[in-house]
Structure 1
Amino acid sequence: MILHFQCWLGTLPTTPLGAAPQALIFVVLWRLRRHNTTKKDLRGRLRRPRTPTGGSGAQPQARIASMDDDESPIPEEESTSVELARLAREAIESQAGEIDMQAARQRCQRVIDLYSSGQIINGLDYFHAAWVMLCGETQGHYYMARVLARLATQHGEERAWSLRAMAWDRWLVATGRPQRFGTQILKQGGRWSLGPVDPAVNDLERAMYGIPPLYVQHQSAEQLQRREER
């Protein structure tokens, strides 16, 4: 079984997700904050060339001062927030091609370690951590994605509501049960579809999680199937 997921988070940028380049499934890519460091003042390390004062034919000579050992830049340790943003970006970008599951497992384990040691403390960090776990491979990873996405919403990260729905659906599909929101598009028997979807969940509940009506998601699966048949 091949599985894709889709989500909608306002007007944030999107990128195709999945092994098939023609897939019409889109996953949100948000602008991850890059870690900016202050440039150190390098004045005095490079001396300007001195122009000789005497003689019309004299040529200027450049003198370059060597960098002292105690002036060497010290690598800055990556903060937890920066690391989680990087891991999330790597996890999402990896979905666009053939997935390196070993790298995915390592990313998931790193998130588990950070969570276990109490280093994930704000909504954005929980949001990024949930993305990493959602791109894992086991039921445990997907369940952890649910936990982290819920914590993200509890800390005020509104974008995590759709992520909660996606993680919930992916966990249900992995356990062999019908999904609730229809965010997962499955390929079974050579055809793309949503598979079983819980009829007790209505479009109002989907809207509360930022998920479109069910018919829109059925259309996405049908479009994907038609494109593959061309």
Structure 2
Amino acid sequence: MRRLATVLLCLILSQGALAAEAPEDCGSDCPVNAEMTSLFDADQAARKNGFDGDWDRIEAEDGQRRARTGGLIAAGALRSGTDFYHAAYIYQHGGEPDDYLKAHVLATSAVAKGRADAAWIAAATLDRYLKAIGRSQIYGTQYRVRDGVATQEPYDRALVPDALRAVAGVPLLAEQETERAELEREAQAREARRRSGAE
């Protein structure tokens, strides 16, 4: 009798576990989640003014978008590659290493669901995660400008060859150096304008 009760309990519990599984995979024909698209559009619109935005407000709204996106993920509401791509962008605008790692997982899921252009955000979020935990980035997607100097450091340029950067849609090393130098020129020009306006 005890064995029968154990078997019945296992069957009942397994039915609940099956009911909680993700919805059936719809392949590349999954419909795009309209709410996730709306969250992504709001995320991108908040950044249209570059560095001139109200960053306290933007960061607060980013937190709200991450919370709602997390709810959609938990509910199994993201099914298409585009949904996962949009969610990756929401999480990469977080402030914690786990946000960047989750963004990376979401981006690789987007690639697996057929969204090939998500390879770049997968690379960028991995770099951002590595830097956030004190490690060297490996693709070279993250730049920082401070006191008129643009840098990608710490950066392990040897780990990922240019051939793999190309697969991920990441600029090659020579192109990155050109971009870094341009960022530095722009930063120095801004600083010179600021100083001349203050004098």
TM-score (norm 2): 0.71
Q: Which residue of 1 aligns with 2:13?
A: none
2 CA distance for matches of 1:89 and 1:102?
16
CA-CA distance at 1:85 after TM superposition? 1.1
Q: How does 1:63-212 map to 2 (within 5 A)?
A: 81-95=33-47, 96=50, 97-99=53-55, 100-188=58-146, 190-198=148-156, 199-212=158-171
Counting only pairs closer than 5 Å after superposition, residues 203-222 of structure 1 correspond to structure 2 as: 203-222=162-181
Report the alpha carbon displacement of residue 189 of structure 1 after superposing the two structures with TM.
5.3
3-state SS, counterpart of residue 184 of structure 1: coil
Give the Cα–Cα distance (whole angstroms) in 1 for the partners of residues 186 and 33 of structure 2: 39
Once the two structures are TM-superposed, the CA of residue 92 in structure 1 deviates from its matched residue by 2.1
Q: RCO (CA 8 Å, sep 6+): is it higher in 1 or 2?
A: 1
Percent identical across equivalent pairs? 30
After TM superposition, give the deviation of residue 98 of structure 1 in Å.
3.3
Larger relative helix fraction: 2
Work out whether residues 139 and 171 of structure 1, in 8 Å CA contact, stay in contact via their aligned partners in 2. yes
- The answer for the alignment partner of 2:7 in structure 1 is none
Alpha-carbon displacement from aligned partner over 1:176-202 (angstroms, at most 9, x marks no partner):
111111011112455211112112211
- Correspondence for 2:23: none
Q: Which has a greater percent of strand?
A: 1
**Number of aligned residue pairs:** 152
- The CA deviation at 1:94 is 2.0
CA distance, structure 2, for counterparts of residue 156 and residue 109 of structure 1: 25
Structure 2 contact 148–188 (Cα < 8 Å) conserved = no
Distance in 1 (CA, whole Å) between partners of 2:109 and 2:65 is 19
CA RMSD of aligned residues (A): 1.7
Distance 1:92 1:102 in 2: 14
Would you say the 8 A contact 1:111–1:129 is kept in 2? yes
Matched residues in 2 for 1:133 and 1:116: separation?
Answer: 14
TM-score by length of 1: 0.62
Distance 2:121 2:137 in 1: 14
Bigger Rg over Cα: 1
Moved over 3 A (4+): none
How many Å separate the matches in 1 of 2:111 and 2:188? Answer: 40
Identify if the C-alpha distance between structure 1 residues 142 and 128 changes in structure 2 by more than 3 Å, giving closer, same or farther: same
